[in-house]
Amino acid sequence: MMNQKDHETKEFLHSWYLLLVTFLALLFLLLNRRLILDLPLCLVVFALYFKSGLTFSRFQKIFFYAFLFGFGIFILNILYPAKQLRVGEVYQLLQMTIYKASWDKALATMLRLFLVSLLSMCSASVIDYTKVILHLIVHKGLRPFWGYPMLLAMNSIALFKEEFDRIRINARLRDLPFKDQLTLFFPLLVFAIRHSQRGALSLVTRGLNQRKSFYYSYDLRSQDKKILYLFWLFYFGLVIMSLMTLR
Amino acid sequence: MYEIGPFEYTFKKNIHHLSSDPSSSNVAKKVFSREKIEILKHELVIVTGPSGGGKSTFLQLLKGIIPEFSSGRLEGSILYKKKPMHGEFFQENLKEILFLFQNPFSQLIYPRASEEFFFSMENYNYSREQMDQKKKELQAYFDLESLWHKKTTELSHGECQRLVLASLLAIDPEVLLLDEPTAFLDPEARQDFYHWLSKHKGQRTIVLIDHHLDEILPFADKIIQVDAEGAVTLRTSISVAKNLNIPQLPMNETQNSEVELKIEHVFFHYPDRPKLLEDISLTARSGEIVVLKGKNGKGKSTLFKIMAGLLKPLKGEIQIAKNKQLLAPKSHYREMGFVFQNPESHFFYDTIKEELRNFKDQDLNRLLQSFFKDIDLSRSPFLLSEGEKRRLSILMTAFHHKSILFFDEPTFGQDSESIHLIKTIILQLSAMGKLQFIISHDENFIRSLGAQVYELVDYHLVKL
């Protein structure tokens, strides 16, 4: 039998703490003015993600999408710079006039957006949100009547994907006209509504109430606390350095 | 314990009968009882009747879900311990009366099976030691060990049903209302459940809907029938319908083309999961019926999806030849029809009429009369009962001029009359030259088809 310990010690860092780390990192990326300080922060956060189960192939995929998004914004910023950036040194590239100020600004924006997208997408693939919700219910006072419907919704995502595949395939097997295949969302919408209705009824009929016990405790381990403590030290170091450069 | 009726619950309107009798239109659909029915403490009651009659609605009335969460109108009384089921008493009854829904996937709350099992007990404040004890008790009946490390999204229908059922039974409720608890279970798991039932009979009140009447009737203290009109009556005995008179279906054409489906050395497993299928080979031709059986979670539905080209095998290939000409894999789907386990995946339109628009009017009327007693074609297919949805999905697929048909659990949720109808359809389709693959746990149904039967055992396909 899988015991309590086996169940909860598989991840390197508890998902709740991974979420906190991600939130702090995103905040820093958005507020910090010195790009050079973003790099050590990202290195540390990605190291935590890789230890928590992010695979290299998934990282590569996410890197590609994040780069595409960042590069798109870079091009837009160069093509349509703000009025105050259309001053100073000018380059010519493919019959286009590019202002140095807008180039620098576009590059900085691209890098920041790229890092923010990369970080948030990677976090989505390593953070187990069901564990976060359960931790909040058990330890942080989140009401079960709020938490369990959220849990139900999180678990539905995989079912929706499966149902969507079935609907799509069925449309093909039934030789539906192309225009009707565009309305695939209709049966999926019905599925979503009915699933949520049945799920809600199930919560009620299986006796969900405010005073419940929990088999698994979803506790934080001392390892989690140590890692978070070290991260705090590192993070405050970066914040202080960032504030010093503002002066 | 229960004092039922007289009562009348009206829950949908404007049902048009297929007959041309104008007086039969605009009749409100209802479930009702003109007499008083009592269910005594610790009785085991079987609810039976044709699919679409209102058995599930009746069970929901016993739980109080209806009218508590329904827009229908209830007149008369249904009392539990002399108190009504709804209103302020609904919360009171929650702890004593537990309900298992027909669709087990809708009841999953947790992402892991090991957590899901404890959910009901957690809600009733069991200690960890009590929960461990309950797990030990139920382990043998529901083979929990094989599910324990799985994610709930990875479970098959049968596994999911086993898990939710075990979770409900763990809290020893006073009343258990079970809506088709064995519908997706393989014969072995079903027998284990009946064994549990026989052992615990007399310890709690159990009301259940089950179409395996031959197996369940010996345990019953009472039989309640909900007929096609929704009338709820107490019965002393019930006969299992045999040799039913099904009208000749409009299926006189024969298929001109010969098809052959060949599976060659197929291997498959899902990413990051243990092996599922190994070295599977099979050849079947037009007119043949191939039945696939096996325990829950052994890969039957997965093999179907591979054969239908919905999943790609890791090794091996699927070939389809039409009139001895090999078809390109991309065009395989043109020859195939698939009846999924969840019939709602089949529906795309607002009304049943739109779903059936490819049928000729004359054929359609005859088919509808065979498939349904009453049906309003202007209704949404999503509002049919589970059994009716299943029949509609079969009708839409079987008569779609495809030469290879896949049926995943076609008899789930069907009464004996509907099962007989489905059997007739499959035999007639076979006579027309269609190649059919069927997954079923229903031994009687399988025997009646006279089909080639295969079983998935230890990742391999074995001919029986």
pLDDT on residue A4: 47
On whether the CB atoms of residues B148 and A2 are closer than 8 A, the answer is yes
The residues near B331 (Cβ < 8 Å, ≥ 6 apart) are none
pLDDT band at residue B254 under the 50/70/90 scheme: low
B99, B114, B125 member nearest A205 (Cβ): B99
Q: A216, B396: Cβ pair inside 8 Å?
A: no
B123/A contact by beta carbon, under 8 A: yes
pLDDT band at residue B251 under the 50/70/90 scheme: low
Integer Cα distance of B459 and B451 in angstroms: 22
On whether the CB atoms of residues A155 and B108 are closer than 8 A, the answer is yes
Integer Cα distance of A244 and A238 in angstroms: 10
A190, closest residue in chain B (CA to CA):
B382
**Average of per-residue pLDDT across B224-234:** 88
Chain A residues inside the 8 Å CB shell of B121:
213, 215
pLDDT on residue A24: 95
**Average of per-residue pLDDT across B345-359:** 84
Integer Cα distance of B92 and B58 in angstroms: 20
Q: What are B284's strand-pairing partners?
A: B261
pLDDT on residue B424: 86
Q: A215, B118: Cβ pair inside 8 Å?
A: yes
Burial B64-99 (b: 16+ CB within 10 A, else e): bbbbbeeebebeeebbbeeebbbeebbeebbeebbb
pLDDT on residue A2: 41
Chain B residues inside the 8 Å CB shell of A166:
340, 342, 345
Which residue of A3, A4, A205 is the best one to mutate when testing the B interface, meaning the one whose CB has the most B CBs within 10 A? A205
Q: A206, B128: Cβ pair inside 8 Å?
A: no
A2, A148, A190 member nearest B148 (Cβ): A2
pLDDT on residue B250: 60
Chain B residues inside the 8 Å CB shell of A167:
345, 348
Q: Is the pLDDT of residue B16 over 50?
A: no
A4, A167, A216 member nearest B345 (Cβ): A167
On whether the CB atoms of residues B147 and B162 are closer than 8 A, the answer is yes
* Cα B321–chain centre separation: 33
Q: B119, A199: Cβ pair inside 8 Å?
A: no
Q: What are A91's strand-pairing partners?
A: A98
pLDDT on residue B131: 93
A155, A198, A215 member nearest B103 (Cβ): A198
Instruction: Please state which of the ranges B107-121, B148-162, B217-231 shows the lowest mean pLDDT.
Output: B148-162
Residue B170 sits at φ, ψ, to 5 deg, of: -65, -25
Query: In this predicted model, which residue has the larger pLDDT, B246 or B208?
Result: B208
Burial class (CB in 10 A: 0-12, 13-18, 19+), A123: buried
A130, A169, A212 member nearest B125 (Cβ): A212
pLDDT on residue B28: 61
Closest Cα partner for B181 from B165, B160, B200, B197? Answer: B165
Which residue of B106, B124, B331, B394 is the best one to mutate when testing the A interface, meaning the one whose CB has the most A CBs within 10 A? B106
Q: Is the pLDDT of residue B361 over 60?
A: yes
Q: Is the pLDDT of residue B136 over 60?
A: yes
ipTM for the complex? 0.77
- Nearest chain B CA: its distance from A214 CA (Å): 5
pLDDT on residue B240: 56
Chain B residues inside the 8 Å CB shell of A4:
128
A130, A173, A175 member nearest B338 (Cβ): A173
pLDDT band at residue B22 under the 50/70/90 scheme: very low
Which residue of B68, B114, B119 is the best one to mutate when testing the A interface, meaning the one whose CB has the most A CBs within 10 A? B119
Q: Is the pTM of this model over 0.90?
A: no
Instruction: Please state which of the ranges A85-94, B31-40, B296-305 shows the lowest mean pLDDT.
Output: A85-94
B311/A contact by beta carbon, under 8 A: no
Which residue of B109, B124, B156, B330 is the best one to mutate when testing the A interface, meaning the one whose CB has the most A CBs within 10 A? B109
Write a three-state SS string for chain B: CEEEEEEEEEEEEEECECCCCHHHCCEEEEEEECCCEEECCCCEEEEECCCCCCHHHHHHHHHCHHHHCCCCEEEEEEEECCEECCCHHHHHHHCCEEEECCCHHHHCCCCEHHHHCCHHHHHCCCCHHHHHHHHHHHHHHHCHHHCCCCEHHHCCHHHHHHHHHHHHHCCCCCEEEEECCCCCCCHHHHHHHHHHHHHHECCEEEEEECCCHHHHHHHCCEEEEECCCCEEEEECCCCCCCCCCCCCCCCCCCCCCCEEEEEEEEEECCCCCCCCEEEEEEEEECCCEEEEECCCCCCHHHHHHHHCCCCCCCEEEEEEEECCEECCHHHHHHHEEEECCCHHHHCCCCCHHHHCCCCCHHHHHHHHHHHCCECCCCCCHHHCCHHHHHHHHHHHHHCCCCCEEEEECCCCCCCHHHHHHHHHHHHHHHHCCCEEEEECCCHHHHHHHCCEEEEEECCEEEEC
Q: B110, A130: Cβ pair inside 8 Å?
A: yes
- B299, two tokens: 């890969």
- Nearest chain A CA: its distance from B316 CA (Å): 22
Chain B residues inside the 8 Å CB shell of A191:
344
pLDDT on residue B47: 92
Integer Cα distance of B432 and A123 in angstroms: 56
Q: A166, B63: Cβ pair inside 8 Å?
A: no
pLDDT on residue A118: 95
pLDDT on residue B421: 81
pLDDT on residue B256: 67
pLDDT on residue A81: 85
Q: From first to last of its 247 residues, what are the pLDDT tens digits of chain A?
A: 344 444 544 678 889 999 999 999 999 999 888 888 899 999 999 999 999 889 999 999 999 999 999 999 999 988 888 888 888 888 887 778 888 888 888 999 999 999 999 999 999 989 988 889 999 999 988 999 999 999 988 888 888 888 888 888 888 888 777 777 777 777 888 888 888 888 888 888 888 888 888 998 888 888 888 999 999 999 999 999 988 876 6
Q: What are B319's strand-pairing partners?
A: B262
Q: B171, A183: Cβ pair inside 8 Å?
A: no
Integer Cα distance of B50 and B313 in angstroms: 40
- Nearest chain A CA: its distance from B321 CA (Å): 18
pLDDT on residue A247: 62
Q: B336, A158: Cβ pair inside 8 Å?
A: no
Closest Cα partner for B297 from B327, B321, B263, B270? Answer: B270
B120/A contact by beta carbon, under 8 A: yes
B111, closest residue in chain A (CA to CA):
A155
pLDDT band at residue B51 under the 50/70/90 scheme: confident
B118, closest residue in chain A (CA to CA):
A215
pLDDT on residue A6: 46
Half-sphere exposure of B381 (CA within 13 A, CB side): 26
Q: B110, A176: Cβ pair inside 8 Å?
A: no
Q: Is the pLDDT of residue B12 over 80?
A: no
Handedness of CA A205, A210, A211, A216 (dihedral sign): positive
pLDDT on residue B24: 43
A159, A201, A215 member nearest B122 (Cβ): A215
- Nearest chain B CA: its distance from A17 CA (Å): 20
Q: B171, A201: Cβ pair inside 8 Å?
A: no
Chain B residues inside the 8 Å CB shell of A205:
63, 65, 94, 98-99, 101
Chain A residues inside the 8 Å CB shell of B98:
205-207
Residue B228 sits at φ, ψ, to 5 deg, of: -65, -25
**Average of per-residue pLDDT across B241-267:** 70
Say how many CB pairs under 8 Å bridge A and B. 136
Query: In this predicted model, which residue has the larger pLDDT, B244 or B325?
Result: B325
Count other Cβ atoms within 10 Å, centred on residue A143: 10
For A112-167, write each residue's pLDDT tens digit. 999 999 999 999 989 988 889 999 999 988 999 999 999 988 888 888 888 888 88
pLDDT on residue B15: 42
Q: A180, B135: Cβ pair inside 8 Å?
A: no
